[in-house]
Amino acid sequence: MRHVVGRSVFLKTLLLLYMGDETVTASAGTERVLTNMANAMVERGYNVIVATNDKTDAVPYFPFDARVHCLYLNVDTKKIPFSVKVKREINRIFPILDKPVEAYRASVSVRKLREQLKMDSIDCIIAYNHEAIQVADCFVHGIVPIIAMMHNAIRIIMGNCNGRALAEKAKANVIQVLMPSYVAETRKYLPHTPVVWIPNVVEPVCLEKQAHPSAVKDRYRIITVGRIDGLQKQTHILVKAFASLAQQYSQWDVWIWGEVKKTDYYQRLCQFIEEQGLTGRVHLAGTTPAIQDELCQADIFAFPSAFEGFPLALTEAMATGLPSVGFRSADAVNELIVDGKNGILCEDDVSAFAQGLERLMKEPALRSAMGRQAVADMKPYYPEAVWNQWQMLIDEQIQQASRL
């Protein structure tokens, strides 16, 4: 017997849609935002429903509040009909369709969503990705307001979108972006859709969990947190930069925390570490649910990403009191790191990144001063301020819809 979620008599009901592959079981940033938002909104008195394509027995990596209703739709995202695959291949040559595979999966998700949820039980939908916008639009047909979240740099999200894909995004009532500069950039692609800036939440770090980057130690740590990846996270740049410094700075080590998605890249990284004689000094440490315990032991946060939306790993390190090194060209990174104040921004190459690291490695007083400034700079992103902005946006959208 199917379970249909109905309307709460007293509460406004939010539907949070994230239609990806194995979403709630992942340990990445968007998944954490999903959990944090669901928990924060239910705490503020909303009835919250989270719907994803996950298997019905999925176990979330980040735990939901017991009051959050989770609907795992059990959509097999790998099982695609042959006709849809043909459309996908044609679209690669003549990009006139709006991502045929995502559109097909969205149709399956909508059908399964309707089996478990009544459309008129929802007051507002928050869509976490493009496929979720498609699902939301098909599910409510413009009757319920849709807030579409953009979780990456706008040039990455929209730069390769064709007209149909942009038209799909424009069906949202409002677009939420993560950095102030993204507002104007989004309007270039969607000139008629309202755009608002609301950043991600940065949790304050208690004094006991703060880093002490100027303390005298037997061993010093450079730390990075993020997927082991050559395209966006560019883990190899940190490893190569440290290899050029390791002999001169024999008391320093590198700790790399993050999941492995591409084993061939990971293996090449391991081979390079071994060839450079850095085994035991460069640690590919995997994932941990207690990353704060690792951050507070570190002295420098290295972040060689090519682009970001609003990097939680970086902001958590800054809130911990760590000075950071990143690239001047990296979206979001170049707004969060203020060069010479709370960290160092470098040009886009290994040598420049090594110079940034070295400047901090040899100046403990500078590490401490930048770390203190980083903590101060994260205060505008603390939970109360950010969730207040979200509550205002949600309530405005519900009120506007009720007047139609």
Instruction: Extract the residue ranges of the chain whose pLDDT is less than 50.
Output: 1-9
**148 with 18, same domain?**
yes
**150 with 293, same domain?**
no
**300 with 151, same domain?**
no
**Within a domain: residue 4?**
no
User: For position 92, what pLDDT does the model report?
Assistant: 65
User: For position 82, what pLDDT does the model report?
Assistant: 64
CATH of the domain at 102: 3.40.50.2000
Nearest residue to 17 (alpha-carbon basis) of 120, 115, 104, 139? 139
**376 with 387, same domain?**
no
**pLDDT tens digit string along 108-128?**
888 888 998 888 889 999 999
Helices assigned H by DSSP within 331-382: 333-336, 350-361, 364-377
CB contact at 8 A, 6 and 71: no
**362 with 398, same domain?**
no
**pLDDT tens digit string along 13-65?**
999 999 887 788 887 889 999 999 999 999 999 999 999 988 999 999 999 99
User: For position 5, what pLDDT does the model report?
Assistant: 47
What are residue 177's DSSP bridge partners? 197
**Domain of 137?**
13-201+382-403
pTM to 2 decimal places: 0.87
**Within a domain: residue 303?**
yes
User: For position 23, what pLDDT does the model report?
Assistant: 85
User: For position 42, what pLDDT does the model report?
Assistant: 96
User: For position 75, what pLDDT does the model report?
Assistant: 84
Return d(Cα 34, Cα 194) in angstroms, integer: 22
Going by their DSSP bridges, the two strands 146-149 and 47-52 should be labelled as unpaired
**150 with 233, same domain?**
no
Handedness of CA 287, 290, 292, 295 (dihedral sign): negative
User: For position 88, what pLDDT does the model report?
Assistant: 63
